[in-house]
């Protein structure tokens, strides 16, 4: 497969929006003309210096980029093996990597003359980022969020409302992230003329997976330069957590053709990847199918019906994964593993205790894998992990799982 791409892993997608067999444009006809015009506008923007000048300015002055690359010295000592660096994307404005992409899409929406922005959100981080950038530009913003997530992520719901967004609790289906995405697509199909759909991850119909990857690639580009400055070479291993996979794709992409760099994606293993499907590990426990505009690995039953994921982390709670990850998995360029809720919670605590950083539950999954492999690796092995979000939003969930009594924060605990 790599030969088809002239030995580069960075040439995808093809003109049909495919990475190997994955990706594509599986949408209804009503949306098809919009997706084609989005592709055209994005292709124009990509080579337009004024677009990137605007992005760079806002990345620097609004988001706070570049995010630091931080040597986690005490964690390294504690684990006693590989040298661990954290790419600090949790320090971005709004507390996660999500805003890197939102900024790009909203600037594009403005260029396309769209006045209304819609988004889906799971944990609420993408919703908050979208509401934030919409507030900054004075755009109307509607965020679809599963009713179940509205309950367990109350602080983010309030944030979005403070920022002027309308948050629509989604009760269709089972009221989770995938249902929120269905309802966002239903809104889009109804309001095609003035509305731009700001997708939060590297999934959906082409050009979204490639476009979101390109916007998030700032993570990997910076990490590469910063690692060169710190160590004079590439890291040996790069690691990121994966729900849909945007922070991971952002870190991985600039390293895809550096053959000596190991790439590891960490999926949410929930209660364990078993026949009960109480997890969100699409690559580890799913198989290829078509949902939300793309072909990719999905959690599904024998009849091709989509299953609900399960994870302690609302941000990883999605039954699919970006199509480029499915392709990297099949061609073997990246390795994908699963981490359970329990392991993620242990990593969460280790990070708090050793580094004074409260991580989000999503990157805690990546960190849990670092904890597994670092002790067995030599001291000159360099790991770079993407700390893609901070954990303020998760403290209630974590408190509940650790048995802390936070009853004075009624209604904010999970379930």
Task: Verify binding: residue 49, another protein, rule CB under 8 A.
Answer: no
Task: Verify binding: residue 115, another protein, rule CB under 8 A.
Answer: no
Please state the closest distance from residue 114 (CB atom) to another protein, in A.
15
Identified binder of another protein from the candidate list 47, 50, 305, 407, rule CB under 8 A: 305
Residue (153 or 296) nearer to another protein, CB: 296
Task: Verify binding: residue 27, another protein, rule CB under 8 A.
Answer: yes
Question: Pattern of binders to another protein over 154-173, x per CB under 8 A?
Answer: ------------------xx
Identified binder of another protein from the candidate list 3, 6, 16, 380, rule CB under 8 A: 16
Length reported for the chain: 415
Please state the closest distance from residue 48 (CB atom) to another protein, in A.
24
Identified binder of another protein from the candidate list 34, 177, 238, 314, rule CB under 8 A: 34
Residue (260 or 302) nearer to another protein, CB: 302
Task: Verify binding: residue 25, another protein, rule CB under 8 A.
Answer: yes
Residue (99 or 298) nearer to another protein, CB: 298
Task: Verify binding: residue 191, another protein, rule CB under 8 A.
Answer: yes
Asked if residues 276 and 288 have their Cβ atoms less than 8 Å apart, the reply is: no
Instruction: Please state, in angstroms and as integers, the Cα–Cα distance from residue 28 to each residue in 49, 252, 292, following that order.
Output: 33, 31, 10
Residue (87 or 295) nearer to another protein, CB: 295
Starting from the edge strand earliest in sequence, which strands make up the sheet with 83-87, in order?
69-71, 83-87, 382-386, 237-242, 262-270, 335-340
Please state the closest distance from residue 92 (CB atom) to another protein, in A.
31
User: Which residues make Cβ contacts (< 8 Å) with residue 35, sequence separation at least 6?
Assistant: 25, 27, 205, 206, 207
**Hey, which residues does 386 pair with through a beta bridge?**
87
Task: Verify binding: residue 113, another protein, rule CB under 8 A.
Answer: no
Task: Verify binding: residue 349, another protein, rule CB under 8 A.
Answer: no
Residues 25, 272: Cα–Cα separation, whole Å: 32
- The window from 4-12, 21-29, 211-219, 379-387 that contacts another protein (CB under 8 A) reads 21-29
Q: Report CA 189 to chain centroid distance, whole Å.
A: 24
Please state the closest distance from residue 306 (CB atom) to another protein, in A.
5
Structure tokens at 339: 């981490």
Residues 57, 25: Cα–Cα separation, whole Å: 32
Tell me which residues in 280-299 interact with another protein (CB under 8 A): 289-293, 295, 298
Residue (217 or 296) nearer to another protein, CB: 296
Residue (50 or 190) nearer to another protein, CB: 190
Size of the site for another protein (CB under 8 A): 36
Task: Verify binding: residue 235, another protein, rule CB under 8 A.
Answer: no
Residue (113 or 232) nearer to another protein, CB: 113
Residue (90 or 179) nearer to another protein, CB: 179
| CA angle, 140 then 158 then 165, to 5° | 5
Identified binder of another protein from the candidate list 6, 29, 407, 408, rule CB under 8 A: 29
Residue (143 or 266) nearer to another protein, CB: 143
Task: Verify binding: residue 182, another protein, rule CB under 8 A.
Answer: yes
Which residues of the chain form contacts with another protein (CB under 8 A)? 16, 24-34, 172-173, 178-179, 182, 185-186, 189-193, 289-293, 295, 298, 300, 303-306
């Amino acid at each position: 497969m790599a030969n088809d791409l002239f030995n580069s892993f960075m040439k995808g997608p093809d003109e049909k929006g495919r990475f190997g067999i994955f990706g594509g444009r599986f949408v209804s006809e009503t949306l098809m003309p919009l997706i084609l015009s989005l592709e055209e506008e994005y292709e124009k923007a990509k080579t337009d210096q004024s677009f990137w000048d605007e992005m760079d300015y806002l990345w620097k002055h609004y988001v706070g980029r570049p995010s630091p690359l931080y040597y986690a010295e005490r964690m390294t000592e504690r684990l006693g093996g590989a040298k661990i660096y954290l790419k600090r994307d949790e320090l971005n404005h709004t507390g996660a990597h999500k805003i890197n992409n939102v900024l790009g899409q909203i600037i594009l929406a403005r260029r396309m003359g769209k006045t209304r922005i819609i988004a889906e959100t799971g944990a609420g981080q993408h919703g908050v980022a979208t509401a934030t950038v919409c507030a900054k530009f004075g755009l109307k913003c509607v965020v679809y969020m599963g009713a179940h997530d509205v309950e367990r992520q109350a602080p983010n719901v309030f944030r979005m409302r403070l920022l002027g967004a309308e948050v629509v609790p989604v009760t269709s289906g089972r009221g989770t992230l995938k249902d929120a995405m269905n309802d966002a697509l239903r809104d889009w199909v109804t309001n095609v003329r003035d509305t731009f759909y700001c997708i939060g991850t590297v999934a959906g119909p082409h050009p979204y997976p490639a476009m979101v990857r390109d916007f998030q690639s700032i993570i990997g580009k910076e990490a590469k330069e910063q690692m060169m400055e710190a160590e004079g070479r590439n890291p040996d291993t790069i690691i990121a957590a994966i729900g849909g996979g945007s922070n991971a794709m952002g870190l991985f992409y600039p390293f895809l053709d550096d053959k000596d760099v190991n790439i590891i994606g960490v999926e949410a293993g929930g209660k364990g990847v078993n026949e009960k499907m109480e997890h969100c590990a699409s690559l580890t426990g799913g198989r290829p199918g078509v949902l939300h505009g793309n072909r990719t690995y999905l959690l599904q039953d024998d009849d091709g019906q989509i299953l609900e994921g399960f994870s302690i982390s609302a941000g990883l709670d999605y039954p699919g994964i970006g199509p480029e990850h499915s392709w990297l998995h099949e061609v073997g360029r990246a390795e994908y593993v699963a981490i359970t809720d329990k392991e993620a919670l242990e990593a969460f605590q280790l990070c708090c205790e050793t580094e004074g950083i409260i991580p989000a539950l999503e990157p805690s999954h990546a960190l849990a894998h670092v904890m597994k492999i670092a002790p067995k690796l030599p001291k000159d092995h360099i790991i770079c992990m993407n700390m893609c979000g901070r954990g303020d939003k998760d403290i209630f969930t974590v408190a509940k799982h650790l048995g802390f009594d936070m009853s004075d924060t009624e209604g904010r605990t999970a379930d």
